[in-house]
Amino acid sequence: MKRIATFTIAVVAAVALMAQNERRITVTENVPYRTDVGPSTVLDLAQPQTGPQKDRPAILIIHGGGWSAGSKNDAVYRSMMVDYAMKGYVVANMNYRLTQEAPLPACIEDVRCAIRWMKAHAAELGIDPNRIGTYGHSAGGHLSLMAGVAAESTAFKDNADPWREQSCSVACAAGGAPPTEIGNPNIPWAQHPEWWPIGYIGHNQTPFLVLQGGEDPIVRPNLTEDWVVKMQRAGTAVDYVKVHGQHGVAFDQQMEFARPAMDAFFARHLHHDDPSVSFEQIKVPEYGGSGPYTAIAVRERTLTDFVVYRPVNLGMAVARERSALPVLVFANGGCMDTSIGYEKMLIEVASHGYVVIAIGEMQMIAQHEKERHTPSLMVKKAMDWACQQAADAQSPYYQKIDTGKIAAAGHSCGGAQVLANAGDPRLKTYLILNAGMGKMEMADASAKSLKSLHGPILYLVGGTTDVAWKNAQMDYDAIKRVPVVLADNTTSGHGGTYDQPLGGANARMVTSWLDWQLKGKSEHEAVFLGGDLTMYPQWTIKNKNWKKR
Each residue of 473-503: pLDDT tens digit?
A: 999 999 999 999 999 999 999 999 999 999 9
Q: Are 258 and 211 in contact (CB under 8 A)?
A: yes
| Residue 14 predicted with pLDDT over 60 | no
List of residues 6+ apart from 422 with CB closer than 8 A: 430, 445, 449, 450, 452, 453, 454
Q: What percent of the chain has pLDDT over 90?
A: 85
Nearest to 23 by CA among 121, 72, 89, 92: 89
Compute and round to an integer the Cα radius of gyration of the chain. Answer: 26
Each residue of 167-194: pLDDT tens digit?
A: 999 999 999 999 999 988 889 999 999 9
Q: Are 201 and 228 in contact (CB under 8 A)?
A: no
Each residue of 67-102: pLDDT tens digit?
A: 999 999 999 999 999 999 999 999 999 999 999 999
| Residue 227 predicted with pLDDT over 70 | yes
| Residue 368 predicted with pLDDT over 80 | no
Q: Where are the domains of the chain?
A: 5-271, 281-544
* pLDDT (mean) for 522-529: 94
Q: Are 420 and 444 in contact (CB under 8 A)?
A: yes
List of residues 6+ apart from 404 with CB closer than 8 A: 428
SS3 of 311-379: the string is ECCHHHHHHHHCCCEEEEEEECHHHECCCHHHHHHHHHHHCCCCEEEEECCCCCCCCCCCCCECCCHHH
- Which fold is adopted by the domain 5-271? Rossmann fold (3.40.50)
Total length of the chain: 549
* pLDDT (mean) for 352-366: 94
Predicted pLDDT at 367: 64
List of residues 6+ apart from 47 with CB closer than 8 A: 25, 26, 27, 28, 85, 90, 125, 126
Pick left, alpha or beta for residue 325 (phi over 0 → left; psi -120 to 50 → alpha; otherwise beta). beta
Predicted pLDDT at 549: 57
List of residues 6+ apart from 158 with CB closer than 8 A: 109, 112, 113, 164
Rounded distance, CA 78 to CA 511, Å?
44
Q: What percent of the chain has pLDDT over 70?
A: 95
Q: Categorize the per-residue pLDDT at 15 as very low, low, confident or very high, splitting at 50, 70 and 90.
A: very low
Q: Are 430 and 453 in contact (CB under 8 A)?
A: yes
Rounded distance, CA 111 to CA 109, Å?
5
| 14 vs 392, higher pLDDT | 392
SS3 of 176-197: the string is ECCCCCCCCCCCHHHHCHHHCH
281-544 and 5-271 share a CATH fold: yes
Question: What values do phi and psi take at 224, rounded to 5?
Answer: -60, -45
Each residue of 428-447: pLDDT tens digit?
A: 999 999 999 999 999 999 99
Provide the edge-to-edge strand list for the sheet that holds 401-411.
279-283, 295-300, 306-311, 355-359, 325-331, 401-411, 427-433, 457-461, 484-489, 539-544
Q: Where are the beta strands (DSSP E) in 185-324?
A: 208-213, 238-243, 279-283, 295-300, 306-311
In sequence order, which ranges of 392-458 are alpha helices (DSSP H)?
A: 413-420
* Burial (CB count <10 Å: 0-12, 13-18, 19+), residue 305: middle
| Residue 44 predicted with pLDDT over 60 | yes
| Residue 298 predicted with pLDDT over 70 | yes
* pLDDT (mean) for 450-479: 98
Rounded distance, CA 73 to CA 71, Å?
5
| Residue 10 predicted with pLDDT over 60 | no
Which 8-state DSSP code applies to residue 450? Answer: G
| Residue 314 predicted with pLDDT over 80 | yes
CA distances to 381, 448, 479, 531 from 457, in Å: 21, 15, 10, 17
Predicted pLDDT at 513: 98
Q: Please count the other Cβ atoms lying within 10 Å of the Cβ belonging to residue 535.
A: 11
Predicted pLDDT at 534: 86
CATH code for residues 281-544: 3.40.50.1820
